[in-house]
Amino acid sequence: MNKNEVIARLNEVFRDVFDDDSIVVNDSTTSADIDDWDSIEHINLIGAVEEEFGMRFKMKEVSGMKNVGEMINIVCERGTK
């Protein structure tokens, strides 16, 4: 799975989780860039990403992610579907 495919699919996940069709994520997107991205929505987002890509994040990955770019890298390395 290449980075562009992951970004396209993540855009759909983000749009669904945050109910906002205008969201476009990139490597530098952070929670400060998206309205309503709080700790509760972060949990929902992680679950939705895991389901979309058939993988599980490790707790240290979830707590250590500084931006969407780090999420993209993890998904590229470990995503299975």
Binned average pLDDT, 10 residues per bin, the chain of 81 residues: 95 98 97 94 96 95 94 91 74
Q: Give the 3-state secondary structure of the chain.
A: CCHHHHHHHHHHHHHHHHCCCCCCCCCCCCHHHCCCCCHHHHHHHHHHHHHHHCCCCCHHHHHHCCCHHHHHHHHHHHCCC
CB-based contact 80:72 (threshold 8 Å): no
Sorted by where each starts, the structural domains of the chain and their CATH numbers stand as 3-78 (1.10.1200.10)
Predicted local confidence at residue 28, as pLDDT: 97
Predicted local confidence at residue 80, as pLDDT: 76
Predicted local confidence at residue 81, as pLDDT: 74
Predicted local confidence at residue 79, as pLDDT: 79
